[in-house]
Amino acid sequence: MLPFFPMTPLLQEWNSYQRRTAARAVRWWEVKLRPPGAARLQLAPTPAETIYRLNKIRLLRYHNPQRDTSLSVPLLLVPSIINKYYIMDLQPGRSMVAYLLQHGFDVWMVDWGTPGPEDRFDTFDDYIAFYLRRLVGRVRRETGAGRISILGYCIGGLFTAIYTALYPDEIANLVNLAGPVDFAGDGLLCTWTRPEHFRAGAIVDAFGNMPGWLMNGAFDALIPGNQLRQANSLWDRLDGEERLRDYLGLRYWLQDEMDFPGETYRKYIRDLYQENLLVQGRLEIAGRTANLAAITCPILSITATNDHIAPAPQVVALSAAVSSADKQTLTVEGGHIGIVAGRDAREKLWPQLAAWLWPRSGEI
């Protein structure tokens, strides 16, 4: 007969800890395998009206009962073409759009839609000189504004810089939010895409479009151990519903992937990452040269301290290339995505963005 050992308080606490950990692990797997859908996560919560459609593209205007009529210059937000637009309107309390509306701005947004196999022949030039040109024109027509403010995020920042160089008379203010312009740096993406060991054309020929899953794998690889870090972040947030909802909202957006239209990707890699034609003044768009020196409007370049996708030198190069007298650089603590929609964005980025735009959005 085995001797009886009474359960000591220490052993009781250990058993309790084991039970809590096991229950937490079950909960982790439940959330990981069956995350909530977009509706439960309250994604893209700010009411908006679709003003214009162009193929799959939508031009949104956000409802603003608090609009300040003294701000006569509308603001067009241009997201990246490889991620969904709602990163700038992610969730309640984490929406740059809602913040700008509360401060009186007339906010518009480009929703690029979701590219499919049929979009593989859309070119880089199409996005700038056809799609974006029509969208900017529609904002100007609907508002009666001769010029508008334009904010581009990530690849959207690159697009808007090129657009402003081609059509400087249409843009009152340009905000480049973490958009790479100079591709001569030593960032990992620049290193990985060097022509001697990266053939974008072969990927396009094989897949038609650059697959979203393949790009996401590359972005994950920029940060060693990123998958483990994300798993640990989920574990830490299981006890708080609000923190868990915020985490899952951002993860949903990251996994709501889009393909990069094939011919657009081909030129993007060749002419920018590999030949760096824009800062050299040699980038051709629809038969015209995009000369950054033609830009004279006020410029705000925004960089993140821990940006692995668009390191600061690639972004601030815009200020050195333009002819604007009014040009500023804002460095925000955080990463490429966190500065836009992270929990600290309300304190670190949005107020400074609004403060810069406000005095430049009146009569011009």
| Annotated domain spans of the chain | 43-360
Q: Say if CB 246 and CB 91 are below 8 A apart.
A: yes
Class of domain 43-360 (CATH, top level):
alpha beta
pLDDT one-digit tens code per residue, 9-41: 777 777 777 777 787 787 777 777 777 777 788
Q: Say if CB 29 and CB 231 are below 8 A apart.
A: no
Q: What is the pLDDT of residue 295?
A: 98
pTM across the whole model = 0.91
Q: How far apart are CA 67 and CA 103, in angstroms?
A: 8
Q: Which of 154, 171, 283, 340 is catalytic?
A: 154
Joined tokens for residue 345:
């964005």
Which has the higher per-residue pLDDT, 180 or 15?
Answer: 180
Q: SS3 of 285, please?
A: strand
Q: Is 50 exposed, middle or buried (0-12, 13-18, 19+ CB in 10 A)?
A: exposed
231 phi and psi angles, rounded to 5 deg? -60, -40
Q: What is the pLDDT of residue 351?
A: 97
333 phi and psi angles, rounded to 5 deg? -70, 130
For residue 363, pLDDT beyond 70 = no
Lowest mean pLDDT among 30-39, 252-261, 274-283: 30-39
Q: What is the pLDDT of residue 255?
A: 87
Which has the higher per-residue pLDDT, 244 or 35?
Answer: 244
Joined tokens for residue 347:
């304190």
Q: Active site includes 190?
A: no
For residue 1, pLDDT beyond 60 = no
For residue 169, pLDDT beyond 90 = yes
Average pLDDT over residues 114-123: 96
For residue 6, pLDDT beyond 80 = no
Average pLDDT over residues 302-317: 95
Lowest mean pLDDT among 27-36, 140-149, 311-320, 355-364: 27-36
Q: Say if CB 333 and CB 205 are below 8 A apart.
A: no
Q: How far apart are CA 235 and CA 29, in angstroms?
A: 10
| H or E segment and range at residue 331 | strand 327-332
Q: Say if CB 61 and CB 108 are below 8 A apart.
A: yes
Residue labelled with tokens 């909802």: 245
The packing angle between helices 226-236 and 9-33, to 10°, is 120
Q: Residue 263 carries which DSSP code?
A: H
Q: Kind of pairing, strands 48-54 and 57-62?
A: antiparallel
Residues in the chain: 364
The CA-CA-CA angle for residues 171, 173, 177, to 5°, reads: 115
For residue 124, pLDDT beyond 80 = yes
